[in-house]
């Protein structure tokens, strides 16, 4: 079958779900991943044919059912690095790359930048935050904590894939004895679950029906559950002048500032993402 014809089938099948450009991008990603055919090769030879179309047509059915392309391919890119993903981990988001960039900028200004740091990522999922920090700050010892053993299996694979050492810890940050299993840290960073149940209806079906709810949701009446627990943990486990970085719900910036203030953090800073939404906060202990 001619690839051009398959491309047209992609456009007609997926036009209610994705834009024309997104459909083409997905189509080219699949061709490259499954058949090693690049976008350029296809542009230069519009008569290219596939002998066996099973894989790409199966992917089309999954896309039609609104499965994210990252789960279909089983991988994605974060901060220029490759990460395996499956249904047990959240697909890493661009706003989380901004959070990591903020940590790296803060680190580059430290006087003690030559010293090794102990870093903890709470709710590591695919390990994207922990592994990127381990890669970019090779002297750091990085710990990655998650309550999900399945998520940690993915994080461990990703550490090997990216050739870094990360200590994975299976524990709940909501349990007080978790602190006893860990050393003191210079940096604690987290992108915890923060979507209120009431915000479910604003979410796209591809997220809602595919990504792990354990990674996403909190009860409406306790939206800062994880932030509260992590602030408490951090106030015990951060070294003097240690820093706490969070990705946050864009609607809860002021509440987050107050929370950090209540736990006696100083130099509290809310930060906007590239879309001018308050999506990150930092405090120093």
Ligand X SMILES: C[S@@+](CC[C@H](N)C(=O)[O-])C[C@H]1O[C@@H](n2cnc3c(N)ncnc32)[C@H](O)[C@@H]1O
Q: Which residue has the tokens 């392309």?
A: 69
The residue (of 56 and 230) whose beta carbon lies closer to ligand X is: 230
| Backbone torsions φ then ψ of 10, nearest 5 degrees | -60, -45
Binding flag, residue 97, ligand X (CB under 6 A):
no
Among 68, 193, 253, 283, binds ligand X (CB under 6 A): 193
Annotated binding site: 123-127, 146, 191-194
Q: Where are the beta strands (DSSP E) in the chain?
A: 75-78, 81-84, 118-122, 141-146, 166-170, 185-190, 195-196, 217-218, 238-247, 266-272, 278-284
Query: How far apart are CB 223 and ligand X at their closest, in Å?
Result: 13
Among 132, 166, 182, 192, binds ligand X (CB under 6 A): 192
d(CA 192, CA 218): 10
Annotated binding site for S-adenosyl-L-methionine: 123-127, 146, 191
Query: How far apart are CB 224 and ligand X at their closest, in Å?
Result: 14
Query: How far apart are CB 195 and ligand X at their closest, in Å?
Result: 8
Binding flag, residue 242, ligand X (CB under 6 A):
no
* Span near ligand X by CB under 6 A; candidates 8-16, 134-142, 185-193, 231-239: 185-193
d(CA 152, CA 170): 7
The answer to whether the CB of 27 falls within 8 A of the CB of 37 is no
Binding flag, residue 125, ligand X (CB under 6 A):
yes
Site size toward ligand X, by CB under 6 A: 22
Q: Which residue has the tokens 């695919």?
A: 126
Give me the 262-281 binding string for ligand X, x by CB under 6 A, dash otherwise: --------------------
6-14: long-range contacts (C-beta < 8 A, 24 or more apart)? 6/50, 6/53, 6/56, 6/57, 9/60, 10/60, 10/63, 13/60, 13/63, 13/64, 14/60, 14/63, 14/64
The residue (of 39 and 67) whose beta carbon lies closer to ligand X is: 67
Q: Which residue has the tokens 């003690």?
A: 112
Give me the 143-182 binding string for ligand X, x by CB under 6 A, dash otherwise: --xxxx--x--------------------xxx--------
DSSP per residue, 172-195: -TTSGGGGGGS--EEEEEE----E
Binding flag, residue 215, ligand X (CB under 6 A):
yes
Binding flag, residue 214, ligand X (CB under 6 A):
yes
* Site of interaction with ligand X (CB under 6 A): 90, 92, 96, 123-126, 128-129, 145-148, 151, 172-174, 191-193, 214-215
């Amino acid at each position: 079958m001619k690839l051009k014809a398959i491309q047209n089938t992609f456009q007609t099948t997926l036009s209610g779900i994705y834009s024309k450009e997104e459909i083409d991008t997905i189509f080219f990603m699949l061709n490259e991943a499954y058949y090693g055919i690049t976008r350029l090769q296809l542009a230069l030879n519009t008569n290219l044919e596939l002998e066996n179309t099973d894989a790409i047509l199966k992917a089309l059915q999954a896309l039609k059912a609104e499965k994210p392309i990252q789960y279909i391919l089983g991988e994605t890119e974060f901060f220029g690095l490759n990460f395996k993903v499956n249904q047990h981990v959240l697909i890493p988001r661009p706003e989380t790359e901004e959070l990591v960039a903020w940590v790296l900028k803060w680190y580059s200004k430290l006087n003690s930048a030559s010293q090794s740091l102990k870093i903890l990522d709470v709710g590591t999922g695919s390990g994207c935050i922990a592994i990127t920090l381990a890669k970019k700050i090779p002297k750091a010892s990085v710990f990655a904590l998650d309550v999900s053993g399945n998520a940690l299996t993915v994080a461990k694979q990703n550490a090997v894939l990216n050739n870094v050492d990360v200590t994975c810890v299976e524990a709940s940050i909501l349990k007080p004895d978790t602190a006893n299993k860990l050393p003191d840290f210079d940096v604690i960073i987290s992108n915890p679950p923060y979507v209120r149940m009431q915000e479910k209806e604003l979410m796209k079906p591809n997220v809602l029906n595919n990504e792990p709810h354990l990674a996403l949701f909190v009860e409406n009446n306790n939206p800062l559950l994880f932030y509260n627990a992590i602030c408490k943990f951090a106030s015990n486990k951060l070294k003097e002048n240690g820093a706490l970085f969070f990705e946050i719900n864009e609607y809860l910036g002021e509440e987050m500032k107050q929370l950090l203030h209540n736990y006696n953090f100083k130099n509290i800073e809310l930060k906007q993402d590239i879309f001018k939404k308050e999506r990150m906060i930092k405090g120093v202990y």
